[in-house]
Every structure is written in C-alpha cells, then in structure tokens.
Amino acid sequence: MAHLLYSLVFCYLKSNYGLALLALGFISLACLCIGRAGSFVQRLPLPDGHELIWGHERLVFMHEPGHAFRTWIAKLGPTFRIKAAFGAPDILVLSDPTGIAHILQRKIFDYLRSFVHESHDSLVLNDFATFVENTGSPSCELNILTWTAKATLNVVGRVAFLHDFEGGNSREAQDIITARRAGITPAARYAGFLSLMLLRRFPILNDLPIQAIQAQGTAKRTIQAGVAKEMIARNKSFVNPGEKREHRDLLSLLLIASLEDRLSADELSEQISTFIMTGHEATTMTLGFTVWELSRNQGIQDRLREELSDFTGEPTYNDFQSRLPYLDAVLKETLRNFTGEPTYNDFQSRLPYLDAVLKETLRKYPGLPYMERVATKHDIIPLGQPVKLSDRSVTSQVEVSPGQIVLIPIIAIQRLNSLWKDAEKFRPERWLEDLPSEVKQYPGWSNLLVFSDGPRSCVGSRLAMFQYKVILSGLVTRFRFGAVPGEVTLKIASSIQPWIKGHEARGPQLPVSIQLI
C-alpha cells in the first residue's frame, strides 16, 4: 500500500512539485495519527511551538544555527525531544555530556585511516601575494573563502592523493570549487530545508531530479567524472600490493584495496570524492571564519602575528617545518604510525596562541553544526543531568528503540552562555585559561564536539589542524586583514555557511580587506 502511495507521489513529483508535497503531507498526516505513542522518548520534555506538518524543524531552520536549541536547553535542560517534520517520530535532542560520550564511543572502528604525506603551500601563498600586489593599491577587498578554498584543495590534493591542483588554479580545481558553490546556495534556501525534511522522511526520493536535492551531489559528481578517474588511471600501474609499506598516501592505499578486491570500483570513486570534499570544505570554512574574526579583532590578530614573528620571520611551509623541530617531529611520528595517538596538545606547547585561535574558531564555527545518529538497536543512554518526564518522575537515563533519531546540537552546546560565560565572544584567551568545569565534562578533542569523538570521529582532524596552522601562520605574517562593512548571517547547507545580509545571491561570503605587510 505504502509503495503504491509512493509511486503516485513520484508521478506527481515529475510533473508538479507542489501537488507532490501535498500528497506527501497527506501521507505524513496519516503517519502522525498512527504515531509512536508509548515510547520512552515521548515522555521527555517537549518545547512549545511545534507545527502540525513541520514539527519543530522549521523553527530550527528559520533561526541562526543553534539558536532554537540554546533557547530550549535554557528552558528544559540538556535532554529533551522535538517534533520532527512530516510526522516522523520525535527526535531526541541530546546535549548532556554523559549521554553524548555514550553515543560517540560505542561503535567498533572500521574505517580505513589515511596517511599524511608531505605538502607545500608556499605556491598558494605566493599566488595570493601576487594577487594582492597586482591590484596596484595598498589594500584590496576579497571574499576570503575563494582563497581558502583554493589553499585547502591544494593541500588535500598533494597530501592525500599526490595530485597537483596547481594552487587551486587548475581547471579541475576550479570545476570542483564552482560545483560546490553551485550546490550550497539552493541547499541553504527554504527549498533545501524542505528537500532535507522530505529526504529524511522518504529516503526513496533521493534519486529524483529535484534541484535542491541533486545540487548537493554536483561537486561529488564533478570529482567522480573528472579528477578521480584521472587519478585512478594515472596511478594504478604504480601501486603494488606486495609493497604496501612503500605506499603511505591515501590514494595508493585505496588503489591497493581495490586491486585486492576489498573495495569495488564504485567505492573507490566514492572514497576519493568523499575525501576531496570533506578534506577541503570544513577547513576552508574554519580558516575563512578565523580570518574574518581576526579582521574584526585587530588585538587578537596582532598578538598572533607577534607570536609567529618571534618564531618564524618570513615563513614558507618548509621554513615552518624546519623552524619548528618539535612540530616536525610530531608530524613525522604521525607519518610513521598514523594509528598511534600523537597528541595535538604538543602543538600548544610551541605556539599556544595559534592553538587558542584555532580552538576558538572551531568552538564558535563548528563546520558540522548538528550531528545526527540513528539507533540501530534498543539502548539505554545514561545522563549526567537527570531529566523530568511527563509523569513528573525523574530519570538519569533515556531508553531508545531502533530507528530513534538522536540529534546532538554541536553549535548550540559550543555557544551556550551557561557553559562558556561569554559564548558569543571570539576570545582565544579562554583556551589559555582553565576551562569551566562544566565544559570539561564534554567528550571530544579539547572538550569540543567539532570533530565528533570516538571511533567514527573525523579521520582528517590531524591533517585539518596541521594545514590550518601552516596556512594561517603564512597568512598572518604576510598580510594584515581589516574589517569590511556587512552583516554576516549563518545558514546550514550540510556545513555551516556565511551569507552577507542583502547579498545572498552572491553565495557564501566572508569579505575582508587585505594589505601586504
């Protein structure tokens, strides 16, 4: 029966999106009536203000990322439920550190880890300097994201795939960046939200030719049809499964896995596009947000520049490595045994303020603002802070059934005033002080959830932090950044994206003024 209904909806979708929506709304209403009464999660506190079709999800979408969750956490505590769109079962929202640690650290690790390889980005820095010089004026304005995208793509190409994206200027690099930008704008619009809600409720819609849905995959398809094919063809003959130890880059490891039939051709292509996309997207945004914050906080920018100039003078990537022997040793240790646990706190001992700027950016602008997990079996999630149920009893655990969606509102947790005191302020100094004890209860690298935690945490976090530090050091010692008028609003299009109010059509923007030092 449900199948028949979906087929009908498909016909509508092909011809009329509005009618199809109505039909899906109808099905959802039917689902709403059937509901999931009686589950434990239904006894958790529920914020006011949900709508019949949208539940609370439209409210979440309409405000700045994290805003709705922060309001609800302040009112109901860290554990509650919200109504999902289209009559899907209620979503468990979990900001409780004990519960989060339970969820993120239970799964068995089964992801192929990558090796980091040598990288050079002086090419990109020089390219940037030439760009600024060529403007012919002492200072110019630029959307810094256009440049950080090129820089990070260049690093990921060289580090993971032995591929030269020519400082992000090659045709294929430009194709990837353009495709990604083309995918972001529709995803952040209302139609994008609508598509996401429909997809979550009716995953079968994934293959339909709806622009806001398909736009998400444009960059992936661009990579798979272009550079991924090229990389595979060019490198396949160089790898030899018998000499695994000689091959330390990710591409060779993937190719060996494919030659040994541990990875299908499709999986190989998926892995390459996933690593290229995830490997440059979040770091692009993190670096962009840092530069933007520095442009508005000259004191912080000066302090950082001072720390770096005491240390490096005029650094290139290679200088950076040779002048930081300990940092270099940590990197080499990482190369030698990637599955070991090189401590990134080691970075702190040498450049503590740079480290603090990185952490403060990741706290305020987590690339992935919300993280979702779906329970695959019945489970009991322990809580640090008890929650009051609808029958007024108090509990320190939440029972979940298979299929239950659990949402961890990372950006809300990392911007909660009750945790951080002055959460909206960009203040790297907080990382040089003792963190509040409530913050220390959270799992994750430096008590942040920005890279997730546990076995499925970000496999690229070490590379991300290393390339961030290298690139930012180069930028801050060679350029001065200044503020440009314009109000930035944040939206979510799979990752967190900045828009300038009134200039949304230009896509994600973080404009700053730049001066050569």
Asked if 463 is part of the footprint of ligand HEM (rule: CB under 6 A), the reply reads yes
Choose among 512, 504, 494: nearest CA to 367: 494
Tokens of 123: 């090419």
Find the part of the chain contacting ligand HEM (CB under 6 A) among 54-62, 188-196, 444-452, 507-515. Answer: 444-452
In terms of DSSP bridges, do strands 91-94 and 405-408 run parallel, antiparallel, or are they unpaired? parallel
368 touches ligand HEM by CB under 6 A: yes
Nearer to ligand HEM, 231 or 464 (CB): 464
What CA–CA distance (Å, rounded) separates 422 from 418? 9
**40 vs 442, beta carbon nearer ligand HEM:** 442
Cβ nearer to ligand HEM, comparing 202 with 451: 451
Per the CB < 8 A criterion, the answer to whether 442 and 449 are in contact is yes
> Which residue do the tokens 């970000």 mark?
458
| Residue 37 C-beta: closest distance to ligand HEM, Å | 30
- Pick out the residues of the known binding site for heme: 458
DSSP 209-232: --HHHHGGGHHHHHHHHTHHHHHH
Which member of 23, 450, 493, 496 binds ligand HEM (CB under 6 A)? 450
Least spacing, CB of residue 510 vs ligand HEM, in Å: 15
Phi/psi zone of residue 87: left (φ > 0), alpha (ψ -120 to 50 degrees), beta? left
Which range of residues in 127-135, 206-214, 307-315, 457-465 is near ligand HEM by CB under 6 A?
457-465
Residue span binding ligand HEM (CB under 6 A) among the ranges 18-26, 40-48, 451-459, 497-505: 451-459
- Gap between the Cα atoms of 473 and 266, Å rounded: 38
Taking the CA atoms of residue 10, residue 11, residue 16 and residue 17 in that order, the dihedral angle to the nearest 10 degrees is 0
Determine, following the binding rule CB under 6 A, whether residue 282 of this chain makes contact with ligand HEM.
Answer: yes
Alpha-carbon span 55 to 82, nearest angstrom: 7
Taking CB under 6 A as the binding criterion, the range among 18-26, 69-77, 314-322, 459-467 that sits at the site for ligand HEM is 459-467
Query: Measured between alpha carbons, how far is 56 from 72 in angstroms, rounded to an integer?
Result: 11
Question: How many angstroms separate the CA atoms of 398 and 300, rounded?
Answer: 43
Residue at shortest CB range from ligand HEM: 460
User: Which among 272-280, 305-313, 323-331, 346-354 is the span making contact with ligand HEM, rule CB under 6 A?
Assistant: 272-280
Give the helix/strand (H/E) hosting 410: helix 410-413
| Among candidate residues 309, 273, 281, 39, the one with its CA nearest the CA of residue 145 | 281
398 to 103, 404, 410, 454: CA distances (angstroms): 12, 11, 20, 21
Q: 406 — phi, psi (to 5°)?
A: -115, 125
Binding-site residue numbers are: 458
Backbone conformation region of residue 46, classed left if phi is above 0, alpha if psi is from -120 to 50, else beta: beta
Q: Least Å distance between CB 361 and ligand HEM?
A: 9
Among 98, 216, 252, 286, the residue binding ligand HEM under the rule CB under 6 A is: 286
Cβ atoms 152, 283 nearer than 8 A: yes
d(Cα 196, Cα 410) in Å, to the nearest integer?
19
Closer residue to ligand HEM, CB minimum distance, 40 or 466: 466
Q: Fill in the DSSP letter of residue 244.
A: G
Asked if residue 351 lies in contact with residue 469, where contact means CB atoms within 8 angstroms, the answer is: yes
Query: Applying CB under 6 A, which of residues 182, 303, 456, 482 lies at the interface with ligand HEM?
Result: 456
Q: Report if residue 464 touches ligand HEM, rule: CB under 6 A.
A: yes
Select the span of 91-99, 228-236, 277-285, 308-316 touching ligand HEM (CB under 6 A).
277-285
Binders of ligand HEM among residues 139 to 178 (CB under 6 A) are: 156, 160
**Least distance from C-beta 211 to ligand HEM, angstroms?**
25
Residue type, 221: R
Contacting range for ligand HEM; rule: CB under 6 A; set: 40-48, 392-400, 428-436, 458-466: 458-466
For the CB of residue 512, give the shortest distance to ligand HEM in the complex, in Å.
Answer: 19
Shortest Å distance, C-beta 483 to ligand HEM: 23
Angle at 450 between CA 188 and CA 159, to 5 degrees: 90
User: What 3-state DSSP class applies to 416?
Assistant: coil
Which of 170, 273, 283, 321 forms a contact with ligand HEM (CB under 6 A)?
283
**Number of residues near ligand HEM (by CB under 6 A):** 22
Query: What part of residues 52-111 is at the interface with ligand HEM (CB under 6 A)?
Result: 111
Q: Among residues 283 and 497, whose Cβ is nearest to ligand HEM?
A: 283
Between residue 120 and residue 139, which ones bind ligand HEM under the rule CB under 6 A?
Answer: none
Q: Give the span between the Cα atoms of 505 and 516, in whole angstroms.
A: 30
Q: In this chain, which of 87, 99, 279, 342 binds ligand HEM, going by CB under 6 A?
A: 279
Query: Does 365 sit near ligand HEM (CB under 6 A)?
Result: no
Contact positions with ligand HEM (CB under 6 A) in 183-242: none
3-state secondary structure of 372: strand
> According to CB under 6 A, which one of 61, 86, 147, 275 is a site residue for ligand HEM?
275
Closest contact distance (angstroms) between CB of 152 and ligand HEM is 8
**Which chain residues interact with ligand HEM by CB under 6 A?**
111, 156, 160, 274-275, 278-279, 282-283, 286, 367-368, 371, 450-452, 456, 458-460, 463-464
